[in-house]
Amino acid sequence: MHKDFYIQPDAPDVVLSDEQVLALVRQHVPNAKFVSGVDETGGEARTYTIDDSLVLKVQRPQQLRPSTSLKKEVLFLNQLKGVEGVCVPEVVGHGHPEPLLEYTLMTRMPGIAVREANLVNETRRESLIALGRMIRRVHSIPQDDLRESGLLFGDQSPVDVRWRMGRLFDTLAEIIHNRKLEWPYPMPPEQVGRSVMANCPDSWEIVALHSNPGPEHTFIDPDSGALNGIIDFGDAYFSRPIHDLRRYRSPADREAVFAGYFEDREPSEEFLAMWRVGCAVADVVAIALDPELREDAATELDRILSA
């Protein structure tokens, strides 16, 4: 988990005109008609919606960094194409026609992001169980092409996994102290990290991860709450599966994702031990940043530390 950085922070960040967008899109879809929206909330990329059914994702040049890549996302999405039970955007085209212009054209994921939806009670739980089921299928695809591509960074050994998790706890503790965030838990955050890491198991179970199939990247049908799919694989990396399962701060939400992931098999003791480490990370974040979840997170953290 090395420090990331922007490669060309002074590069111009140009918003394409509708004519420029359509010129790129029509190389792949000649009958494309109009640009229906522009979204800049993605950070590293700007997306243009075309005809309400396609998305042109353009790398923002000044936001280019080693850990994210449109080319990597294209590779991962193509590996997932046709995988039963996995719904992701389909790549229509990809190009790099100019040094500061790289794009991917893909199908638009229907529905809305979970963070924008009012999902509650059993409807929310069923959606997140379905997400866990889908993540399991993403993790189960053949890994050779992803490894051999050289496009994904990440962990290659149990030592790498331990280093990543320990550094993650340290980073969270630094953020809490430096920002002077409220920390009502009786044990300091850095001590929480050390205590939890004492029980971090060695493991070679390392797979290609989405990196954050959380509420901003998980899409559902706004009427039924049914899971539609997952978007944004540009930050994919290799590590333990728990990193894709811990992305919800609520312990109840994470339990639902976990239940879907292990719907048809029992987790190993090693996985459960690693899962407790991942949940502790999420609990530290929730205690520091989300007062509504603070009590539930503290209760779960008590249970993890006493195990």
Amino acid sitting at position 175: I
Please write the tens of the pLDDT for every residue from 158-210.
Answer: 999 999 999 999 999 999 999 999 999 999 999 999 999 998 998 789 999 99
Residue spans of the domains in the chain: they are: 18-107, 112-306
18-107 and 112-306: identical CATH topology? no
**Can you name the CATH fold of 18-107?**
Phosphorylase Kinase; domain 1 (3.30.200)
- Other C-beta atoms closer than 10 Å to the C-beta of 66 total 11
Please write the tens of the pLDDT for every residue from 8-39.
Answer: 999 999 999 999 999 999 999 999 999 999 99
For residues 137-148, average pLDDT: 97
Structural tokens at position 10? 């002074």
Q: What percentage of the chain has pLDDT greater than the value 70?
A: 99
Residue 3 has pLDDT above 90, yes or no: no
* DSSP codes, 77-132: HHHHTT-TT---PPEEEEEEEETTEEEEEEEPPPSEEGGGS---HHHHHHHHHHHH
Which residue in this structure is represented by tokens 């790289």?
102
Residue 280 has pLDDT above 80, yes or no: yes
Architecture of domain 112-306: Alpha-Beta Complex (3.90)
Q: What is the pLDDT of residue 99?
A: 92
Residue 47 has pLDDT above 60, yes or no: yes
